Structure 1
Amino acid sequence: MVERRLPKPRDLAPLMQFKKFDFNASRRRLSAALTIEDLRKIAKRRTPKAAFDYTDGAAEGELSLRRARQAFEDVEFSPSILRDVSTVDTSTTIFGGLSAQPFGIAPTGFTRLMQTEGEIAGASAAGAAGIPFTLSTLGTSSIEDVKAANPLGRNWFQLYVMKQREISYGLVERAAAAEFDTLFFTVDTPVAGARLRDKRNGFSIPPQLSLGTVVNAIPRPWWWIDFLTTPPLEFASLSSTGGTVGELLDSAMDPSISFEDLKVIRELFPGKIVVKGVQNVEDSTKLADLGVDGVVLSNHGGRQLDRAPIPFHLLPEVAREVGDDLEVTMDTGIMNGADIVSALAMGAKFTFVGRAYLYGLMAGGRAGVDRMIEILSEQVERTMKLLEVSSVEELEPKHVTQLQRLVPR
């Protein structure tokens, strides 16, 4: 029989310790976010629909994005046992330099529209975490301002080759002068994808107000206060703005872009040249023969061609074919540190997060980006420990099985 007695106060005291209340609402929100999906939910509550949907949405039926995320969910890990993982090393070398984590921040456009701190929050958070930050041609902070926000960190520049070539060449020269060490030559945007959420929302730069816009903004006064009390929203690297996102992209992009343009950019930029938007093995092989430094397997986050190849599925074959000749990296669909570990095991040298970064930014500005990096870093380290690998270099294809739903007939 178990002996029963009345509890004594001194016995209860250690069991009744209440969590200290944090009076900082932003810090309280962010600390409660345990996953990127948690940050996404906070971002959706705090951001007007048009801005949130620009981040969250993709092209047409959004099949490419859903399939990319599903591919990471359809992973089975194969852990080892009885290995010493009391400490793990998540750092890696990519494009000639060190990164404290095997992921960096991808280039995103219109970023200050999501949250007024924009690229400055992203660059400074990346610098503090020791990971690379990539500025988009369509960014809303200038090359020089990003350098000032992240003076000692690794800054990279993503380039669209425009119809007015001299604009693109000028951006390359500015990035080189600001000591950006890597340039992403982007090849998957000859024209804008059909981003239907943006069309339905009338999303444009500058924002176009409608009755629906105003009604949606009423419960989000903080966004409007930030928007109206900070410098006007514009593309910091471009002089011409106005119109819908698709109109802006179509006016800037050039469907005649070719390998000759890549040759010119290589001559202009002294750092590493990486081609972003590669979607098949044949092009990867050709780029390796041309001597570029790396590729980013990407379908532009599902924002261009719907039903595009899934980068994570494409990764193993590309890594086998060209991994010895150039550095293979990837983006699209990453929502968890386990996704990053899976990509590394299947042959990626590095990964990039775009939406995850913007969810953090919308959820809490610079502090939200810090929290995003913290969440992914913790997940990467925990997954590695549970797989019982102590460094990024130890990850191999044997650790991951890609379970595939979409099998060609």
Structure 2
Amino acid sequence: MTSTPTTPDARGRDIPDFPAPRSSECPFAPSPGMRALSGYGPLTRVRSWGDSTPWAVTGHAEQKALLSDPRLSAEFTRPGFPSPVDPAHAHAGGTDLSFVGMDDPEHARLRRMIGGTFTIKRVEAMRPRVQEMTDDFIDAMLAGPRPADLVQDLALPIPSLVISDLLGVPYEDHAFFQSNSRTIVSAVASPQERGAAHTNLATYLDELVGRKLTEPGDDLLSSLCAQIEKGELTRREAATMGVLLLLGGHETTANMISLGTLLLLQHPEQLALIRDTDDPAVIRAAVEELLRYLSIVHLGRRRTAMEDIEVAGHTIRAGDGVILLGELANRDPSVFPDPDHLDLTRDARRHQAFGAGAHHCVGQPLARMELQVIYPTLFRRIPTLRAVDGLDTIPFKYDAVIYGLHALPVTW
């Protein structure tokens, strides 16, 4: 078992440190320090921010149960919430992320306002448009200079354009919201810099909501404006929901596109399964395995216990912080045999890339559909695609809380 840094607790027992940096020797896997946590059992105390000792949950079954347990709170201002940000200053600069940091019933009330937009039926109706976008961006990449940067030429613009269209955000403002989004998810930016970036986006979305209150369109923000006029939503709530959707709608998917492309280029026999099939079921299964295998969230899903909870022979006390590590649940060998092996034919649908319970990712149907379109189209259109640089020189996002690539130079 790979070791991880430890510090003794009051009884002299070792408590592993969290978070642990990824290793450049195996950039597609959780860090050795994170992997070592599984050796302590499905739950273990870790030493984390501010010398706190929250519980780290590594087991798949334990995570699924806890993510569905209403006794865990997602409110990050609660004492004991495991966070690098002081809870007393969590809302400074408008850094709240709408219903992500709320519990029911407020969480459910706000989430219902947008849930209908992300139904499978509505998302599938968008598939032809996403296919058209993908072909257009690949056309432009093929006509442009080589090497191309897959991040800037394909992975980032497609989900940015998709979420812009959906929300009613002018795509010509993409440089503004992408820049501020990068700061928000940066692990090296100061709290002040992240707060300022979040304020920039919140102000931008608030102004856009204001315009749509007088000139509504056929988009999600206009739909939220209708809820404002009914008195069911405040303008601030609509703006912060817009920030959440704009940020989450392009950052995560963009990183999955670039990281998944690079991974498949390292596994040509697996890549061929996507490139050479017309079977949508094969593509769907491949995307689920990529979502399982690639862990793009660095700091886990974090909660605070509101009551004592018995789990796997341990008692999580009221007020204890809890960190649910999806990247380790997705490599739990009791659920996914030989979990470190990439197998696009595996049934990986039990993965927890999108979480579980009431707070599961509302946009997961959209993310899945985009990946199902982009991966096969890219490899069919450019069958000789290859990375220009080796893994040791490709700039992975070791400095961000959402993992991916800063750039991916490719040629063909």
> Structure 2 length as normaliser, TM-score?
0.24
> Structure 1 length as normaliser, TM-score?
0.24
Over alpha carbons, which structure has the higher Rg? 1
Higher relative contact order (CA 8 A, sep 6+): 1
